[in-house]
Structure 1
Amino acid sequence: MLPHIRAMVAAAAHALIIGRKVAGIYDHAAGRHLRIAAESQGIHLQGFDGDRQAKFGGSLPELYDAGDRSFVSMEIDGATARGHDRGSSSAYSADVTDRQVQLYDYGERAWFAFDVQVA
């Protein structure tokens, strides 16, 4: 998965599982804060990646990234989100807590950590 898709997935998973508005993400792998916002109502999500000036969102199980014009599937099971990035043909799993998302990217065979700022 591309780094910005991982960050989008982390923000989306947090908004959908925790149910609070995401106001920003800190990407530990990149070592920087990302201007990503997301909010959900039930299975519906809307978000914006300010660094790329791109909207993302939709209704589960499919989310659309307007910047890349690609889809990411997502299923929620408790505090875990799982799915597939159609752009990179890579699967992922994300474990969500109150202020953090730990995402495993099967394509990269690596874990990525994101701290979440809530509104």
Structure 2
Amino acid sequence: MNPHARAMVAASAHAVIIGKKVAGMYDHVAGRHLRIAAECRGNRLQGLDGDRSAKFGGTLPELYDEGDKVFISLAVDGTKAEGYDRGSAGFYVANVSERLVHLYDYNQSAWFAFDVQTA
């Protein structure tokens, strides 16, 4: 997955699992704040990646990234989300807590951490 897809998935997973609006994130690997927002109502998710000026969202379990024009699946089980990024042809798993998302990218064989700011 590319870095902005990981951030999009992390924000989406947090909005779905915790049920609060995501108003921004801090990417620990990149060492910077991200202008990203996400909100989930029922099984519909909508979001905006302000750094790319790209909308994302859809009806779960499918999300569409309008910037890259690709679909990413997102299935939730408790505090865990997992899915497949069709853009990179890779799987991921994300563990979500109140303020933090840990995402494992199987293509990179690495964990990525995001602090979440809620609205």
Give yes or no for TM over 0.5: yes
- 2:74 partner SS: strand
Counterparts of 2:62 and 2:45, CA distance in 1: 10
TM-score by length of 1: 0.99
**Where does residue 10 of structure 2 map in the other structure?**
10
Counterparts of 1:47 and 1:107, CA distance in 2: 24
Q: Deviations over 1:57-110 (max 9, x none)?
A: 001110000000000001000000000000000100000000000000000000
- 1:88 partner SS: coil
* Counterparts of residues 75-86 of structure 1 (less than 5 Å): 75-86=75-86
**Where does residue 62 of structure 1 map in the other structure?**
62
1:55 CA displacement: 0.1
Aligned residues: 119
1:43 CA displacement: 1.4
- 2:51 partner SS: coil
TM-score by length of 2: 0.99
Counterparts of 1:71 and 1:19, CA distance in 2: 22
Counterparts of 1:58 and 1:24, CA distance in 2: 19
Identity %: 68
Q: Structure 1: which 4+ aligned runs deviate by more than 2 Å?
A: none
**Where does residue 116 of structure 1 map in the other structure?**
116
Gaps of 5+ in 2: none
**Where does residue 28 of structure 1 map in the other structure?**
28
